Amino acid sequence: METNWVAIASFLQPHDMLSLALTCKRFGNKHGTDTKKRSAADRGEDTRQRTESISLMEVAARTVLQTKWTDDEKNALPRRGDESWIGIYNEFLKLFRLPLQFDKLAGGGFRHISNSTHSVENTDKTRVSSIMGVGYHISAAICSNIMRAGKHSVSFNVNDGNPSMNYGITCGIMRPTTNDIRSLNSCHPLIDDLSRFSLKEYETLYRNNVDCCLFSTNMGFGVLRPRWKRWGKSELIVMDEEQRLQKKRQNENQSFSWEGQEQIRETSFKIGCVLDLNEGTLDVFKNGRRLGTMMSGLVGEYCWIVTRPTGGGAELSVSIGR
């Protein structure tokens, strides 16, 4: 009977599975589920069995995932401990099946583009445009999908009203953040201390790596920020001189040249990025043509981001897709 319920529930979306699990004990209570693990050769030499406490809705989410994801997609979403299968299913859909979206806008200089009909106005979160006359500052459009492993790709279609104004955009990756980042009046991940918006405990993650790495369409070079956190005087005073210099270097954004870099001066163009977390690399494409590997040695989780100075120049629009 439970098998029938799982089969029926597999047609639900993740948020419906979660609602059902929270409101109905039959579907939300955890039960012991046997999980068999065989030897790599699967010759019957060793069969181990463990019992995992899991609800019917979790079983349904796991079942539908196993029928939908490819090996590459599965490897890109490794389960963390006893992480909810419903949560993983939701991430899977956002990463690989649903349209990518700019679901976090920070800095006040971007707005979503509305698709209006005679009677209905819909907000299209796949596209943003710059807001004119809001004062000069940096604004960011962020796709909050978390890339934790495997290979991921994105394309940014840009229409710049006047690229000669020497602004362009920067686009690439940054660490995942909470929704509170939307409250910022200016958001520059290459300059601002965004560590307080880290989605996870900042000091225990991503040590000595790259919190943000962006491609500048205006100049063609790359820019990275090793660490967001700015250390206070009380924290620096207990460090030795070498540690203080290291922290200072980590706070500075660093421009760098890379093989294949190009300036972009066109009015309309497409920038593609491929993040390979198996290899730790970020590749950049222009109008479908691979420019090269901009960064290597990347470790940890990232999200896609576009930034631009607002308040001056011509109006610009950016759409996000795969």
- Among candidates 188, 222, 194, which has minimal Cα distance to 206? 194
User: What pLDDT score was predicted for residue 36?
Assistant: 43
Q: How far apart are CA 64 and CA 74, in angstroms?
A: 12
- Residue spans of the domains in the chain: they are 2-96, 104-321
Tell me the pLDDT of the chain (322 aa) as tens digits.
456 655 666 677 887 777 766 666 555 556 554 444 433 444 454 444 444 576 778 888 888 898 899 999 999 999 988 889 999 999 999 999 999 999 999 998 899 988 765 545 578 999 999 887 666 678 999 999 999 999 999 999 999 766 555 567 899 999 999 999 999 988 989 888 898 898 877 766 655 579 999 999 988 999 998 888 766 666 667 777 776 666 666 667 789 999 999 998 888 999 999 999 999 999 999 999 999 999 999 999 999 999 988 765 667 899 999 9
**CATH T-level fold of 104-321:** Jelly Rolls (2.60.120)
Lookup result for tokens 């470790």: 299
- Among candidates 294, 213, 217, 306, which has minimal Cα distance to 254? 213
Vertex 99, ends 318 and 223: CA angle to 5°?
45
User: What pLDDT score was predicted for residue 82?
Assistant: 86
**Other CB atoms within 10 Å distance of the CB of residue 61:** 28
pTM summary value: 0.83
